[in-house]
């Protein structure tokens, strides 16, 4: 607690209070038996007895940050970028996500059944890119409100026939606040009324100036619907990825963020996790938000069972004892017992918090805020 009464200090040092009071007096401090001594005074007295002061710090056992493992620079390896797509209503976010997925995922994965797990990974020129399939705003607002940062690159979709709109500006502000690089996708260039130059002009007012005009913002013109310009966009994503030098250590226990989660009738709690560091394995002991358990099974974005998940990989897992929230942090513990202890403490904390607030926020509430 940082302070002690003279009598308490005396007891700890196995001395009489009077002796301590005398020592203090000789140091110029007038004190009584019940007087609280601050840290400096305690250290002064302890020094006289050659005793070292050890501070007791209250460790919050429910704070996963307290269990984080620091990586050595040498252990870090390149990892794929995690990309979210933002933009105004109807400007083509979903169409773009779908066309990237359809043109890329099915190419080499004949027969692969794509499954909706809130995120997917593609390969372009031998490099992977992860796309979050959650609305970009949600990824920023609800996740960031929980202290999670999942996005490495933001794609801002602006319809060439509509230009910069209120949610376009909102998206710019989110990305800027998160200090995430922005790539502009000027969409719907196939339309009659498309005016890409106007979009570029309007965006300069928000500090996004094309390279051609002396700025450093990357613009790609495309038609998500006609699937034109998709490769250009992917190329630019890889370019920015290289500049960002995104790294992680695949040889350590996994940690990351919940993308989405729900209760499945047959399988119980199901959570889509984005592994942000380390590698996750089936059988790992894991704490996810206020829930915990062992990873019973992992399914990738193609609906296939996998045994491991490397950094920047989205996977759906089962084996948790309750449903976590989007944006929750997760961490794998080497020690199963510790995972259970931390998990139980976090669950207890959650119960107390719910009781005191009397309210529950559902995933839907979070994602409907946008
Ligand atoms: P919200 O999720 O409602 O915010 O919209 P969104 O940004 O996901 O837009 P969505 O992909 O649903 O597209 C909106 C409409 O624009 C749909 O009718 C699309 O077919 C159409 N659209 C999307 N991209 C293009 C494009 O490149 N060209 C044309 N002509 N239409 C497009
Ligand atoms: Mg949409």
Alpha carbon of 291 to ligand 2 centroid (Å): 30
Helix residue ranges, H only, the chain: 6-13, 17-26, 39-48, 93-108, 136-145, 166-177, 196-204, 230-244, 336-357, 363-367
Closest CA to 148 of 44, 247, 260: 260
pLDDT of residue 149: 82
Tokens representing 174 are 């989110």
DSSP state at residue 8: H
Residue range 208-251, pLDDT digits in tens: 999 989 999 999 999 999 999 999 999 999 999 999 999 999 99
Alpha carbon of 86 to ligand 2 centroid (Å): 9
The residue whose CB lies within 8 Å of the most ligand 1 atoms, and thus the one to mutate among 87, 88, 90, is 90
Residue range 309-357, pLDDT digits in tens: 999 999 999 999 999 998 899 999 998 999 999 999 998 888 888 877 7
Instruction: Output the CA–CA distances (angstroms, integers) from residue 367 to 114, 135, 264, 325, in the order listed.
Output: 23, 8, 19, 11
Ligand nearest to the CA of 186: 1
Known binder of ligand: residue 226? no
Residue nearest atom 23 in ligand 1 by C-alpha distance: 92
Tokens representing 44 are 């002064």
* pLDDT of residue 145 exceeding 80: no
Distance CA 347, CA 97 (A): 36
Alpha carbon of 17 to ligand 1 centroid (Å): 79
- On the CB side of 370, CA atoms within 13 Å amount to 23
Q: Is residue 84 a contact partner of residue 132, using CB atoms and an 8 Å limit?
A: yes
* pLDDT of residue 112 exceeding 50: no
Helix, strand, coil percentages (3-state) for the chain, rounded to 5, are 35, 25, 40
* pLDDT of residue 49 exceeding 60: yes
Known binder of ligand: residue 135? yes
Q: Is this complex's ipTM strictly greater than 0.90?
A: yes
Q: Which residues are close to ligand 2, an ion, with C-beta < 5 A?
A: 93-94
pLDDT mean over 13-19: 90
* Axis-axis angle for helices 166-177, 136-145 (nearest 10): 40
Alpha carbon of 174 to ligand 2 centroid (Å): 18
The residue whose CB lies within 8 Å of the most ligand 1 atoms, and thus the one to mutate among 139, 224, 232, is 224
Alpha carbon of 101 to ligand 1 centroid (Å): 15
Closest CA to 314 of 188, 130, 142, 164: 130
Ligand nearest to the CA of 191: 1
- Using DSSP bridges, classify how beta strands 127-132 and 285-288 pair: parallel, antiparallel or unpaired: unpaired
194 versus 119: which is more confidently predicted?
A: 194
Q: Which residue has the tokens 């009598």?
A: 7
Known binder of ligand: residue 90? yes
Q: Is residue 79 a contact partner of residue 247, using CB atoms and an 8 Å limit?
A: yes
> For residue 89, which atom of ligand 1 is closest to its CA?
4
Backbone φ and ψ for 352, nearest 5 degrees, come out as: -65, -45
Q: Which residue has the tokens 């805020």?
A: 369
Distance CA 181, CA 175 (A): 7
């Amino acid at each position: 607690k940082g302070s002690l009464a003279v009598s308490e200090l005396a007891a700890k040092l196995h001395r009489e209070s009077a002796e301590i009071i005398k020592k203090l007096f000789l140091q110029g401090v007038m004190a009584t038996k019940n007087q609280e001594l601050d840290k400096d005074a305690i250290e002064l007295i302890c020094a006289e007895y050659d005793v070292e002061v050890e501070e007791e710090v209250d460790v919050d056992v429910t704070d996963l940050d307290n269990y984080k493992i620091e990586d050595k620079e040498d252990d870090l390896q390149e990892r794929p970028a995690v990309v979210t797509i933002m933009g105004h209503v109807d400007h083509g976010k979903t169409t773009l996500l779908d066309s990237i997925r359809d043109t890329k995922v099915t190419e080499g994965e004949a027969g692969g059944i794509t499954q909706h797990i809130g995120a997917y990974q593609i390969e372009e020129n031998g490099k992977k890119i992860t796309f979050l399939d959650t609305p970009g705003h949600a990824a920023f607002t609800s996740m960031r409100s929980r202290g999670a940062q999942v996005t490495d690159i933001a794609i801002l979709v602006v319809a060439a026939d509509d230009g910069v709109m209120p949610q376009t500006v909102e998206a710019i502000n989110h990305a800027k606040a998160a200090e995430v690089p922005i790539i502009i996708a000027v969409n719907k260039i196939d339309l009659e009324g498309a005016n890409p130059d106007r979009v570029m002009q309007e965006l300069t007012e928000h500090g996004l100036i094309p390279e051609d005009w002396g700025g450093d913002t990357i613009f790609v013109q495309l038609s998500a619907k006609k699937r034109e310009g998709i490769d250009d966009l992917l190329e630019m994503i890889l370019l920015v990825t290289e500049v960002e030098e995104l790294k992680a250590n695949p040889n350590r226990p996994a940690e990351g963020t919940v993308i989405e989660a729900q209760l499945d009738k047959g399988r119980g709690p199901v959570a889509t996790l984005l592994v942000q560091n380390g590698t996750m394995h089936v059988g790992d002991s894991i704490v996810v938000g206020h829930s915990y358990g062992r990873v019973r099974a992992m399914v990738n974005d193609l609906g296939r069972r996998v045994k491991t998940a490397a950094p920047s990989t989205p996977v759906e897992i089962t084996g948790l004892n309750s449903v976590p929230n989007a944006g929750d942090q997760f961490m794998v513990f080497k020690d199963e017992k510790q995972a259970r202890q931390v998990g139980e403490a976090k669950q207890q904390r959650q119960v107390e918090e719910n009781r005191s607030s009397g309210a529950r926020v559902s995933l839907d509430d979070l994602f409907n805020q946008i």
